[in-house]
Amino acid sequence: MKRLVLFAAACILQSCATSSEIKKTAFGGLWIAPESEANSFELDLTQTGTQVQGYHAALVNGSGQIEVALPSDGDPPSISGATTDASTAKVHFKLRRGKGAGEALLVRKWDKLIWTITQSEGEPLLPQTCILKRQANTPH
């Protein structure tokens, strides 16, 4: 009986650790919006504790302009912020090609991420609002 209790306690502790890890990386991964002829939007995010950061790529409103920030550029992340709870993060973004910056709210619902710009200045090269889907098997 004592072994059964110890085994149950170990399973519970493992479950808590696993649940905690899931929460720590809730925003991490590659998120891609369904493409259309005029629009394309991707976020490549990492999460450490409550801190969220990453890079973006966008083609918006058929402008022909591509707004992209990549880790290979050698610049700091174009997106940075923090979670406010398990499913919400507030982030700042800075455009690379266009001139501008702003703030956005990220709301995670299962394998979907809702991006909503709450404040911006400069050229509107990122979508005002967009639903992105987490891509499976990404190395985050």
Query: Per the structure block, which two tokens stand in for 116?
Result: 């909503």
Confidence band, pLDDT 50/70/90 cuts, at residue 37: low
- Give strand pairing partners of 55: 44
Best CA proximity match to 117, nearest among 133, 98, 94: 94
Q: What is the CATH number of domain 24-134?
A: 2.40.128
Rounded Cα distance between 68 and 117, Å, is 17
Rounded Cα distance between 106 and 113, Å, is 6
Instruction: Spell out the domain ranges in the chain.
Output: 24-134
Query: Per the structure block, which two tokens stand in for 117?
Result: 């710009």
Structure letter (DSSP) for residue 138: -
Rounded Cα distance between 58 and 104, Å, is 15
pLDDT digits (tens, 9 = 90+) for 85-125: 999 999 999 998 878 999 999 999 989 999 999 999 987 78
pLDDT digits (tens, 9 = 90+) for 17-35: 333 343 346 899 999 998 7
pLDDT at 34: 86
Task: For the chain, give percent helix, strand, coil, nearest 5.
Answer: 20, 45, 35
Backbone phi, then psi, for 11, in 5-degree steps? -65, -40
